[in-house]
Amino acid sequence: MLSGRALFLSSLLSGALAQSTNPFQKYTITAPGINASFIPYGARLTNLYVNDRDGNPQDVALGYDEGSQYLNDTETDHTYYGAVVGRYANRIKNGTFTVDGVTSQIPENEHDGHDTLHGGFVGYDQQNWTVASANESTITFSFLDQAQQGFPGTIITYATYTVSAGPQWTSRLVSIPLDEPTPIMLSNHVYWNLDAFSNPSDHTILNNTLYMPYSDRYIEIDNIEVPNGTIGVVNDTILDFTAPKQIGRDIEQDVNGCGLGCTGYDNAFILDRPRYSAPEGTDLSVLTLSSNVTGIQLDVKTNQQSLQIYTCDTLKGTIPVKQSQQHSSNGSTVYVPQFGCIVIETQQWIDGINHPEWGQDQYQIYTVDSEPAVVFAQFDFSIMSS
């Protein structure tokens, strides 16, 4: 039975759910120098325009032109383009975990049933979120998760996206448990290409420069990208981005880095810097990505303790880029190649619920008596200095 607090929150959301929402309708929010579009299906980012060094707007997020194409993607490639992933982002070993002595089994939807990825067969990316509020520069989506995919308990999540002068995009994912203790680890799953596919000779991000000054350690993984319990140190390895480095410099050496037989980066980097509780006041950038082609620079700030970095290693040139990114002079269609994008997931430690020795429970297990789970991520855009 739901508590009084849970019934109150649930009634508020039920009112919002009564409003019909087209899951593929595009909502655009704007501020000086930036505009971003979203759809309720997965509470996902579909477009994000910022100006390049010449003052031309460039769409730097991957996606599709039509909202309904995201449904087709779910049924085919299942890229998770731009969506919120959860209730537990990333991987859970064997699809199982134990909270307060109760063991849960979640659908194992990856690697022939050996682990759970992004919440199971039907994660938050496939849910039709409700538009709870929207104005010129902010939109909030809401979703009531009633023990879906075998996760314990009911939670309400609000995804609030705001754009502001800077230009800047801010994401706040707030999840409130209504009854049982449960793991919660959400993240935005945006695919970035700061070149905006405008370089006619190279559509990859290999010449982009990546800098993660606080990522001295990483979580080691097995052949199916599940943590093996070991914490590694990046010093003197190809995973060292604690000084600015082109993404492509060492990537061909990272064989099996994204799973057995796979070349490229798909790693969880630990953020070894003080955790803070008031993210709005921070000036701490945990990641800088920059493009020499457009001059666009992205700085990421977050209250999370890890960054999952994926360099689109498994994309093979079968998905066309959006019309806003088709810059070919001869009219030929541009497709997303291998290494044609980078995903930056702000989150807690992957599979931390199965590694109590890491001390992650307070950041991954939430109850009706705890603070809400809050994933804050701020994306600041600028023109890189020459």
180 has catalytic annotation: no
114 has catalytic annotation: no
> Rounded distance, CA 278 to CA 252, Å?
39
Edge-to-edge strands of the sheet including 191-192?
Answer: 191-192, 342-347, 306-310, 266-270, 217-221, 227-233
Q: Which is the catalytic residue, given 108, 110, 225, 345?
A: 345
For residues 368 and 3, the answer to whether their CB atoms sit within 8 Å is yes
Residue type, 194: L
3-state secondary structure of 154: strand
For residues 66 and 22, the answer to whether their CB atoms sit within 8 Å is no
Distance between start and end Cα atoms, the chain = 61
Residues 6 or more apart whose CB falls under 8 angstroms from that of 314 comprise: 258, 262, 264, 338
Long-range contacts made by residues 282-288, C-beta under 8 angstroms, separation at least 24? 285/213, 285/380, 286/212, 286/213, 286/214, 286/215, 287/210, 287/211, 287/212, 287/344, 288/209, 288/210, 288/211, 288/212, 288/244
Q: How far is CA 320 from CA 74, 152, 317, 358, 381, in A?
A: 16, 39, 8, 41, 25
Instruction: For strands 245-246 and 296-302, give the pairing.
Output: unpaired
Q: Token pair of 262, please? A: 């796979």
> Rounded distance, CA 239 to CA 247, Å?
10
Report phi then psi at 221, rounded to 5: -130, 165
Q: Which is the catalytic residue, given 118, 189, 203, 355?
A: 189
Q: Token pair of 230, please? A: 């070991």
What residues act catalytically? 189, 345
